Structure 1
Amino acid sequence: MEHHHGELKGRMLFSFALNMTITIAEIIGGLLSGSLALLSDSLHNFSDSMSILASYLAIKIGEREKNEKYTFGYKRAEILVAFVNSAVLVGVALFLLVEAYKRFKNPEPIDGPLMLGVALIGLFANLISVLLLHEHAHESMNVRSAYLHLLSDTLSSVAVVTGGIAIIKWNVLWIDSIVTVLISLYILREGYEILKESVEVLMEASPNLNFEEIKHEIESIPGVKNAHHFHAWRIGEKEIHFECHVEVNDMPISEAQGVIDEIEGRLKRFGIAHVTVQLETGRCKDKKAICGGKGD
């Protein structure tokens, strides 16, 4: 696992350097050619570079050990970065939609050959970055958001290349706006999904667990009368924590510990990594899985 993470971090650093190079090249190319598409793409590439750097730093921070202040560790650093990255991704997509509309309404003359040359360099470099992170894209929201930044910029580079070819061959300026709209809508959809999931984790929304099935599973354990007052949340993207109250028959502590161990063992099949159980006898009046008080 450590070697795997080391390989991922190395690829991310290389992609960061590559994207900063593309950003500088597209700024120069955009200013010289008069291409708004290249300048817009340079902004997109710069956001990609910052996304990759932030994702890399989040992985480094997430590897730190737990301590007295951060008893759960630093795993949510990756979720925070995924949230910021996806929010920026949605913002860039909206910006591109506005720019595409402006360009469609008021097309401007562009140096097609220079635009095409710089766009091809950007496309090639973006493809390398996408291939470097492709196999790691589904490991976490953080890496996936960085990967989507790169993928969206690769598609954006395709649009710029297409626009350059159309300008050189047919002087068709509007095609760049149409392709940009299609790409932006794709970016918007993908970015929104990551944004939504990262907000759910940060707001401690319950992961997809069947509480009724869990309640039935716990109550089927000998000595257990009722299970209620459920709380479930994610520390990181995949680590689920769960706590509940369990009403039991009168029993010695040694037997009670056996009940707790049995509950922990059974809940592993639900993907729950950490379980906290509060044993009681006739304490809570509300025996539902989710209790209704504000201070639960």
Structure 2
Amino acid sequence: MAHSHHDHAGHSHEGHSHSAKGIPKQRLLQALGISLIITVAQIIGGVISGSLALMSDALHTATDAVALLASFIAVKLGERPGSEKHTFGLKRAEIVAAAMNAGVLIGISLWLLYEATLRFIHPDSVKAGWMIGVAAIGLTANVINALLLQKGAKDNINMRSAYLHVLSDAVVSVGVILGGIAIMYLGKGFTWIDPMLTVLISLWLIKESWSIVEESIRIIMMGTPPGIEVKEVAAALTELKAVRGVHHLHIWSLNDQTIHFEAHIDIDDRLVSECSCVADEIEDLLHDKYEITHVTLQFESGRCEDEALIRSHDTL
């Protein structure tokens, strides 16, 4: 049995934390404070103006605060080392937080679609001046938050879900401002613009959030990472001179940064000490070609009767 984090050749890729290093935790707290202040302002402005779009903006900002708090807690949990109770540590806390944040966005978007439908049926007056003014304040705050969280959002699903929250609010604020301007200059007959903007924004949020939910579910369910074909990996390994066959193969993600690999490797009978060179060669190939950093290999020589690449009833 060979096990590696791929550090034998001077590499040290295991244990990277894009969330902790790419996004300083204090930035999450700063964004949280801004979101709480703006939420109160938007709720007051929404009540005074009667704007559903502005109230939706306030609700989104409120969920931003919850999402940012959840992301911060998840980062802290993810930094904890492995223990006897959690041998992998709590690295998947960020995946759970991402799924929760995206799920909340989808839920709120569906509720706003319902409210927008009611507003279409029973139109209400909107005070465009208040609508524009408060939305402009919200836009400023959301742009600041987006800039705070932008770094690392591409490489970390937890940060991406938090970033999507504040980015979506910025988009909502732009929509509210444009809607307020239209109502101000076109008249009360165009108040339908307010719920229409809510519908468009909600549909966009559902689309963006669902991609995060899908990725989170794939990781939690230990699905094969995108861009990696199991048969292709097995074929590449069997091209190595020392490898006669590969079976009982598993590839999964611990989180969105660490890919794990384990398999039975059939080789010619040899001393255990002579397997190290084979292990190094396999680990180099998996790292360089597929960015797999955590490798567990079980070397054997004609031991398994079932040499299926993937066992249909296998357990880890």
TM range (shorter): over 0.9
Deviation digits for residues 111-152 of structure 1 (CA, Å, limit 9, x no counterpart): 332222222211221122122222332130111111111111
Is 1:130 the equivalent of 2:149?
no
Residue 33 of structure 1: aligned partner: 49
Q: Distance in 2 between matches of 1:230 and 1:3?
A: 30
Give the TM-score taking structure 2 as reference length: 0.87
Higher relative contact order (CA 8 A, sep 6+): 2
- 1:272 alignment counterpart: 292
Give 1:229's aligned residue: 248
For residue 284 of structure 1, what is the aligned residue in structure 2?
304
4+ runs of 1 displaced by more than 6 Å? 1-4
Between the aligned partners of 1:126 and 1:254, the Cα distance in structure 2 is 58
- AA aligned to 2:244 is K
> 2:110 is matched by which residue type in structure 1?
L
Distance 1:4 1:290, change over 3 A: closer
State which of 15, 21, 42 in structure 2 corresponds to 1:5: 21
Give how far 1:241 is off.
Answer: 0.6
Q: Which residue of 2 aligns with 1:211?
A: 230
Structure 2 unpaired stretches of 5+: 1-16
Contact persistence 1:116–1:160 (CA under 8 A):
yes
Tell me, in whole angstroms, the C-alpha distance in 2 between the residues paired with 1:64 and 1:268: 25
Q: Which moved more, 1:96-105 or 1:31-40?
A: 31-40
Query: Does 1:176 pair with 2:194?
Result: yes
Trace 1:152-191 onto structure 2 (pairs within 5 A): 152-169=168-185, 170-171=187-188, 172-191=190-209
Identity %: 44
Q: Quick check: 3-12 or 265-274, which moved more?
A: 3-12
The equivalent residue for 1:45 is 61
Q: Match of 2:11?
A: none
Q: Does structure 2 conserve the Cα–Cα contact (< 8 Å) formed by 1:201 and 1:233?
A: yes
Cα 1:88–1:286 change in 2 (3 A) is same
Deviations 1:197-245 (A, max 9, x none): 0000001111132222322232233343211110111111020111001
User: Which has more helix, going by share of residues?
Assistant: 1
SS, match of residue 153 in structure 2: coil
Deviation (angstroms), 1:43: 1.3
- Aligned with 1:74 (options 67, 78, 90): 90
CA shift, 1:266, in A, is 2.0
- Contact 1:162–1:176 (8 Å) recurs in 2: no
Q: Which amino acid aligns with 2:192?
A: W
What displacement does 1:287 show?
2.1
User: In structure 2, how many angstroms separate the alpha carbons of the residues matched to 1:162 and 1:126?
Assistant: 16
Code of the residue aligned with 2:203 in structure 1: it is L
Quote the offset at 1:174 in angstroms: 0.7
Of 197-206 and 67-76, deviating more is 67-76
Residue by residue, what CA displacement relative to the aligned partner does 1:33-66 show, whole Å, maximum 9, x if unpaired?
3333322221111011111111122112212222
Structure 1 residue runs of 5 or longer lacking an equivalent are: none
Query: How many residue pairs end up in the alignment?
Result: 296
Q: How big is each residue's C-alpha offset from its partner over 1:158-208, in whole Å with a ceiling of 9 and x where there is no partner?
A: 222223223332222011122222211211111010110000000111113
8 Å contact from structure 2 (residues 51, 194) kept in 1: no
